[in-house]
Copies of this chain bind each other. A is one copy, B any other.
């Protein structure tokens, strides 16, 4: 994850309000960790996943490094080597502990990391209470950025915990799973959109990452989007039609991965005693085929769409469709970390555009026309991830409600499956 840069907001809320916001979000992170056993904090089930302890420390480090060290002049760093351990990518790689080896560090202990967080929180509270006028705007902007950065890591924390737990033969549960709703997903239909010049990207007030800017015109042909996400049951039809064995349905790089890793179903699905189950944050549960399929790669989403005679949306198509919609849906606050069955869509517009599951688009993560990184160290590596990754839109059941917006661009490699990812079909206007 790397969208940790932003255009500075021109006007910020009062610093007192910001301090309150800071406290809330920081506490949320710790609350998310509460169901964990101490042993769970250090596990890194694969290279892309980070131990919960690392997320806790790295998010603190972000405030220490970019807010406290430059602006809180009496601040003393908690530990001289934390730069090496908890930096992710903001400095030269040579000084970073290797990402894939985060799970072998038992020290600092969880207690020491919590002390680190406490020291940072105290210093942040003091700073926000008494920041000199000349630095107010910059401190506010960086704090706000750090808050959004922490929210991103909150979602990763859930995805990573799920991955770490799912590989364990004991099948531990993070917390009791919410009951299945028993609902049926409504039949999906096409929602049509006219073509023409449309503006996408962020402009105006409100926080956004710099990758959402500048707002710019895009020419779209008429297109259509499915009224809801693809369900597990619909995806199972693809599997039963030999979807994972038909070379012609796949992108070449995807097919290579299917064969190399032996994929035959979405991540976390298991066939046991004549039925499909899925491993989730509630442990191993019977699969509800009415729920949206989740934890699939771009390659699988793309192959499924091709098999259906459809395609995935571009990010511009998605954003143009989402632009007018209320940001409503199944977010982290609902407490159910698997996508819930769609309810009937409103008469106008598609359902599940926000929340439930991130929607893979066919757009590669690339700079918008006119994109310019920030000056200074926060901007030093702007856009360094803008290659080889695909854009996802809309947020998921693990995204904090306040974190998402229509212009938000998430991105993962096309083979990634452990985030909360799903499929919305698209097509050309008939």
| Cα(A93)–Cα(B91), bound, Å | 37
A30-80 at interface with B (beta carbon < 8 Å): 37-45, 53, 79
A159 CB → nearest B CB, Å: 16
Could you say which of A19-27, A130-138, A249-257, A284-292 contacts chain B? A249-257
Please, which residues of chain B bring their CB within 8 A of the CB of A118? none
Asked if A107 CB lies within 8 Å of chain B CBs, one says yes
Q: Which residue of B lies closest to A414 (CB)?
A: B387
Please, which residues of chain B bring their CB within 8 A of the CB of A381? 247-248, 252
In contact, A364 and B364 (Cβ under 8 angstroms): yes
Q: Which A residues are within 8 Å of any B CB, using their own CB?
A: 2, 37-45, 53, 79, 81, 84-85, 89, 91-93, 97, 103-110, 164, 167-170, 172, 197, 216-221, 247-248, 250-255, 259, 298-299, 302, 311, 314, 362-364, 366-367, 369-370, 380-381, 383-388, 414, 428
Please, which residues of chain B bring their CB within 8 A of the CB of A299? 387
Please, which residues of chain B bring their CB within 8 A of the CB of A219? 197, 217-219
Q: Which residue of B lies closest to A110 (CB)?
A: B39
Please, which residues of chain B bring their CB within 8 A of the CB of A44? 104
Known interface pairs A45-B104, A197-B197, A366-B362; A251-B385 also in contact (CB < 8 Å):
yes
> What would 16 more interface pairs be, CB under 8 Å, given A39-B110, A108-B170?
A38-B38, A38-B109, A39-B109, A45-B104, A103-B104, A104-B167, A105-B168, A105-B170, A106-B164, A217-B221, A248-B381, A250-B384, A252-B384, A253-B387, A254-B387, A363-B366
| Cα(A37)–Cα(B53), bound, Å | 15
In contact, A89 and B164 (Cβ under 8 angstroms): no
In contact, B43 and A41 (Cβ under 8 angstroms): no
A134 CB → nearest B CB, Å: 27
Please, which residues of chain B bring their CB within 8 A of the CB of A369? 220-221, 314, 428
In contact, B84 and A169 (Cβ under 8 angstroms): yes
Q: Which residue of B lies closest to A94 (CB)?
A: B247
Instruction: Pick from B92, B104, B216: contact of A247, CB below 8 A.
Output: B92
Copies of this protein, total = 4
Q: Which residue of B lies closest to A317 (CB)?
A: B369
Q: Which of A170, A253, A381 has the most CB of B within 10 A?
A: A170
Q: Which residue of B lies closest to A223 (CB)?
A: B369
A294 CB → nearest B CB, Å: 21
Of the A-B pairs whose beta carbons lie under 8 Å apart in the complex, a sample of 17, sorted by A's number, is A2-B252, A37-B106, A39-B109, A40-B107, A43-B104, A81-B169, A104-B167, A105-B168, A105-B170, A106-B172, A197-B219, A217-B219, A219-B219, A221-B369, A251-B384, A253-B387, A387-B414
A195 CB → nearest B CB, Å: 9
Q: Which residue of B lies closest to A89 (CB)?
A: B252
Please, which residues of chain B bring their CB within 8 A of the CB of A40? 106-107
In contact, B254 and A37 (Cβ under 8 angstroms): no
A403 CB → nearest B CB, Å: 23
A80 CB → nearest B CB, Å: 10
Please, which residues of chain B bring their CB within 8 A of the CB of A314? 369
Q: Which of A43, A369, A383 has the most CB of B within 10 A?
A: A369
Please, which residues of chain B bring their CB within 8 A of the CB of A110? 39
In contact, B170 and A42 (Cβ under 8 angstroms): no
In contact, B251 and A386 (Cβ under 8 angstroms): yes
A264 CB → nearest B CB, Å: 16
Q: Which residue of B lies closest to A198 (CB)?
A: B219
Give the top 3 A-B pairs by smallest Cβ distance, nearest first: A364-B364, A39-B106, A219-B219
| Cα(A219)–Cα(B369), bound, Å | 10
| Cα(A194)–Cα(B284), bound, Å | 58
| Cα(A255)–Cα(B387), bound, Å | 12
Known interface pairs A44-B104, A197-B219; A109-B251 also in contact (CB < 8 Å):
no
Q: Which of A91, A217, A302 has the most CB of B within 10 A?
A: A217
Q: Which residue of B lies closest to A428 (CB)?
A: B370
A227 CB → nearest B CB, Å: 22
In contact, B39 and A385 (Cβ under 8 angstroms): no
